[in-house]
A and B are shown apart, each in its own frame.
Chain A
Amino acid sequence: MSVVNYTRTLQKVILNIGPRCYHRWVTTASVALRIRDSKQNFRCRLWCGLLTPVHYQYSTEGNTSKVPSVATWEPVLENQLPPAKQVPADLVDKLERLALVDFPNQEGLVCLKKAIRFADQLHVVDTEGVDPMDSVLENRALYLREDAVAEGDCADRLLQLSKDTVEEYFVAPPGNIPLPGREEC
């Protein structure tokens, strides 16, 4: 069998085993072959040469890949962050009145503090003189269509979606009554 055919069969076998085994096998083989190099005939050298480029395609160790082999992030240390913000009880009440999610218990507070601490990492970035960005389409003019009625007249369908309606009105409980505070609960 010619060297090329033999190599092709060998590759099929090895590539089926898996890249890791292949890498190890080829490394061992090429080392063994190199040791015998002084006695090599042309066929063995050709085989080495043919295998090496294929080896290069599959191994990830010691190659010239542009992919960094170690993580490149710089850890953000606790002392780089601003001091941890306190969340006093009245602030929690205020947040609750704004958010209206009924979450003023201990669990909610813990969650909030973690979120705030995570967000504090923003302050290691220097943003001196940088404009805030509202939208990625900020350089385009907003499309405005003609101020003409295009659709509508679907009051019935929309009212059906609500649980409590009277004629054409959505029914709401009495307003202007503040939420009870934490002491009153």
Chain B
Amino acid sequence: FIQRLLRIEVSLALKEGRISPTELCRKCLNRIKKTHHLNAYITVSEELALKQAHEAESRLSKGVSKGPLDGIPFAVKDNFCTENIKTTCASNMLKDYTPPYNATVVQKLLDQGAVLMGKTNLDEFAMGSGSTDSAFGPVRNPWSYEAAYREKSGADPDADWVIAGGSSGGSAAAVASLTSFFSLGSDTGGSTRNPGALCGVVALKPTYGLVSRHGLIPLVNSMDVPGIITRSVHDAATVLGVLQGHDVKDSTTVTDHPTPLTGLPDDFDPRNIRVGIPKEYHGPGLSQETLAQWSRVADMFEQAGFQVEQVSLPHTQHSIVCYHVLCHAEVASNMARFDGLEYGHRSDVSSSTEAMYAATRHGGFNDVVRGRILSGNYFLLKQNYEHYFVKAQQVRRLINEDFRRVFGSGVDVLLTPTTLSDAMRHTDFVQEDNRTRSAQEDIFTQPANMAGLPAVSVPTALSSRGLPIGLQLIGPAFQDRSLLTVAQWIEQKVGFAPIRYHGDAGEGEIRVDVLPSTPTVWEKNYLIPC
């Protein structure tokens, strides 16, 4: 079915006229309506999407395509500003806020002709690791409704649905449930890779400084990066090629970035690539199945001739605590802009400015955000500044040094798990508070944010409960292309099957013939040739 295709195949189909952008857009919009129960979208921009699709259609009929993304539906996490479309950050504070400008990354995609489906759900202000703390309700993982989950765990999807991961849960669910071909998330401590792994899609966090953050409502300025969620590594590389680049409106983007990706090399010699397995990434709580997948892929690398070695990043264990302090401190600073005066929710209290601010912020933020602001202010008090904040900054440098040392010794890429296990049931997840869950779920993903390194999560297999497990690759700074090359190799070898679309009979689906059937990946690689 059309929506199961990868972006590259659809792009080809659009160019060749086998399907029109308007048709594609309509199908995606129908799919959004059908998957409404997942709560992946906060705002669906139906009229705008159809208008953009019509424009793409007229361009394609004249033969003037804007690029590889022309006419392709995409979704954007709701903390990116989009002109004239409500941007809420899943919070009461910005419930009725309509930005007067587009975020740079959104503008770049629209300039390429991509079609914006809507704004996706997230944890409030991107604080969380389950997409459960939104003012608009939690996001459900599309895999909860798949046959694999129902059969293998005997669960009832409506009562035992699993979380989508966070905080870009809506974006990952949108791509996994086939309502858009790629989506933007934001990654501060793993917020793109975590839901990517739990929803079985490819999630890339580019190097810090490669992609502009202008228009991304900030959480932690020194760690935030716009993330890219797609169904294949090739798509992720294409989108990154469009988005990367210096932006005068974001002074943390670098001017000497590598040339934009135009594709990934298919042929490379595995014997030239050194893969590191950091031993500290076997943290407490890692499930046996994730460990098995990690071992499986490590062995796969070794069989194929890659040089696999165990390495050590000694400060990994303390990385989560360091992240906790720095995150809270920067959050306390960044959330200070929400006072109700210039934009956003404003309370009716008018006895004094301070009282109005306090009441506005009490009404606008949920407990998670307020708790973080409070503890962030504690860590920034003069009496605590050296003791907590500066100490955390010192530990950050040690973590950075660990990575620098490992990559400096010639290791090209690190292979680690992305999450502790497959997706948890929502009823189990909410037993612990947000802070505890973030401290558990983010342990493998946030060190890459601390050091500003590129990282990608690739789905490898389904667990015994029928839910996806993903593995993470971390690369040296600005080596996103090499990282994605190795990720593509894994993707081809593991042969992960994405969600099957339970078609809507009688809708007149357009059959598009894709590639001729080739032997399956494991047949090619694991059977002894005659």
Contacts and interface: CB of A to CB of B under 8 A. Distances in A.
Q: Do A and B bind each other?
A: yes
Contacts of A145: 248
Contact of B439 (A12, A118, A135, A172): A118
A54 B349 CA distance: 71
Contacts of A122: 318, 321-322, 325, 388, 391-392, 395
Contacts of A163: 340, 346
A127 B395 contact: yes
A103 B365 CA distance: 11
B374 A111 contact: yes
B299 A125 contact: no
B397 A130 contact: yes
A182 B291 CA distance: 51
Contacts of A150: 248
A80 B222 CA distance: 30
B473 interface: no
A173 B398 CA distance: 47
B393 A154 contact: no
A88 to B, nearest CB: 12
Contacts of B254: 137, 140, 143
B378 A116 contact: yes
B374 A97 contact: no
B400 interface: yes
B252 A68 contact: no
Interface residues of A, number: 81
A7 B530 CA distance: 11
A73 B365 contact: no
Interface stretch (B70-78, B354-362, B480-488): B354-362
A99 B331 CA distance: 11
B291 to A, nearest CB: 7
Contacts, number: 242
Helix, strand, loop or mixed for chain B's interface? helix
Contacts of A72: 279-280, 282-283
Interface residues of B, number: 97
Nearest to B477: A136
B153 interface: no
Interface in A84-110: 87, 94-103, 107-108
A127 to B, nearest CB: 4
Contact of A101 (B325, B341, B362, B530): B362
B407 to A, nearest CB: 13
Interface in B318-352: 318, 321-322, 324-325, 328, 332, 339-343, 346, 349-352
Interface string B16-39: 000000000000000000000000
A119 B398 contact: no
B310 interface: yes
B317 interface: yes
A130 B100 contact: no
B370 A161 contact: no
Most chain-B CB neighbours within 10 Å: which of A67, A102, A175, A178? A67
A173 B279 contact: no
Given A101-B373, A134-B393, A125 B315 contact: yes
B341 A162 contact: yes
Contact of A137 (B208, B285, B522, B523): B208
Interface string B230-272: 0000000000000000101001111100000000000000000
Contacts of B300: 57
A8 interface: yes
A72 B310 CA distance: 13
Contacts of A174: 352-353
Given A71-B286, A73-B280, A177-B353, 12 more contacts: A58-B296, A108-B371, A108-B374, A118-B435, A125-B318, A127-B391, A143-B248, A154-B100, A172-B341, A172-B356, A177-B352, A177-B355
15 contacts: A54-B526, A56-B299, A66-B302, A100-B339, A103-B371, A111-B371, A122-B318, A127-B398, A143-B248, A145-B248, A161-B97, A161-B98, A172-B341, A173-B350, A173-B351
Interface of A: 4-5, 7-8, 11-12, 15, 19, 50, 54, 56-58, 60, 63, 65-74, 87, 94-103, 107-108, 111-112, 114-116, 118-119, 121-125, 127, 130-137, 140, 142-145, 150, 154, 157-158, 161-164, 170, 172-175, 177-180
9 closest cross-chain pairs (CB), A and B: A136-B452, A132-B393, A102-B362, A177-B352, A127-B394, A115-B375, A133-B397, A101-B370, A161-B343
